[in-house]
Amino acid sequence: MSKLRTRDLVINVPGRPDGYALNMDIEPGQTWGVLGPNGAGKTTLLHTLAGLLPARSGRVMLNDTPLAQLKRRDIARQVGLVFQERQDSFPATVMETALIGRHPWLSPWESEQADDQGRAQQALALLDVDHLSNRLLNTLSGGERQRVAIATLMTQNPSAWLLDEPTNHLDLHHQVRVMRLLRKQANNGKTIFMCLHDLNLAARWCSHVLLLYTNGDACWGPADSMLKSSALEKLYNQKLITVEADGAPVFVPVSS
């Protein structure tokens, strides 16, 4: 169980005034969605929460310890991140990729054991890419690669999951599958925090929402109180129609 808290956190988006400082409590069992237009700082926030970027001011606390005081390896056992962009300069198979998730758990002389293999296999199966496990990553489609990245995070098995647009490149069925998987992980005590571009996925699957504005303003809270069409129209500078379907609001952009 990992609790992420931000205290007076101002993320470092170059050339932007400080805006509104973030004081969030991201608890186990919650599923957070970060919404905002391009360039609002969603990815920067995610990287700051993972301790990969320094904040402009304020702190990120992981279970009451400031992130800056923890070793990288200890952070990696508790906080994992799915990046929006990935480098693959060298060829690697799907299985090898999933297995690097075990890195923070193994000592320098250790190699992956049957248990690690099993975890990777299970994660690949849950993401529906286990049949690709011997394929080279650069021969996969964008959506398949995205699922491998999520499976790698699952193999890493941290208690806080940060995901940068996890539904990118995914077809409809796999979008739902991934969101259900994340929600299930939250119900099992994981802390889920992700950037999303799809309002309707956020409305359906997120318990909490953070709205990030381009000028640095922000507001956050339970999803149903945040997902108001007036706030979202201001956020994206786009008129919306709201309808209700399957027990959740559905936001449709107005064409004019």
Partner 1 sequence: MIRSLLCLGVAALAAVLLALALGSVTIPPLGLLDVIQGEGTALHRTLLWDLRLPRTLAAFATGGLLAVAGALMQVLLRNPLADPYVLGLSGGAAVGALLAMLAGMGTLLISGSAFAGAMLATVLVFGLAHGTGSWTPSRLLLTGVVVAAGWGAVITLMLAITPSYKLPGMLYWLMGDVSYARTPWPPLIVLALSIVLVLPLARNLNVLARGPMQAAALGVSVRPLEWTIYILASLLTATAVTTAGSIGFVGLIVPHMLRLVLGNDQRIILPACALAGGTLLVLADTLARTVIAPEQLPVGVITALLGVPTFLYLLHRSR
Binding site for partner 1 (CB under 8 A): 47, 50, 52, 71-77, 80-81, 83, 86-93, 96-97, 100-101, 103-104, 106, 108-109, 111, 156
Looking at the Cβ atoms of 133 and 175, the one nearer to partner 1 is 133
Phi/psi region, residue 157 (left: phi>0; alpha: psi -120 to 50; beta: rest), is left
Helical axes 114-126 vs 142-156, angle rounded to 10°:
140
CB atoms within 10 A of CB 246: 7
Q: Cβ of residue 90: shortest distance to partner 1, in angstroms?
A: 4
Looking at the Cβ atoms of 90 and 245, the one nearer to partner 1 is 90
Q: Cβ of residue 105: shortest distance to partner 1, in angstroms?
A: 9
3-class state of residue 7 by DSSP: strand
In terms of Cβ atoms closer than 10 Å to its own Cβ (0-12, 13-18, 19+), residue 20 is middle
Looking at the Cβ atoms of 36 and 101, the one nearer to partner 1 is 101
What letter does residue 130 receive in the DSSP assignment?
G
Element (H, E) at 241: strand 240-245
Looking at the Cβ atoms of 13 and 226, the one nearer to partner 1 is 13
Cα 56 to Cα 11: distance, rounded to the nearest angstrom: 5
Looking at the Cβ atoms of 79 and 129, the one nearer to partner 1 is 79
Q: Cβ of residue 164: shortest distance to partner 1, in angstroms?
A: 11
Q: Cβ of residue 10: shortest distance to partner 1, in angstroms?
A: 21
- Residue for token pair 């995610």: 46
Q: Cβ of residue 141: shortest distance to partner 1, in angstroms?
A: 18
Residue among 54, 60, 52, 85 nearest 8 (CA): 60
CB atoms within 10 A of CB 84: 16
Q: Cβ of residue 71: shortest distance to partner 1, in angstroms?
A: 8
Looking at the Cβ atoms of 135 and 177, the one nearer to partner 1 is 135
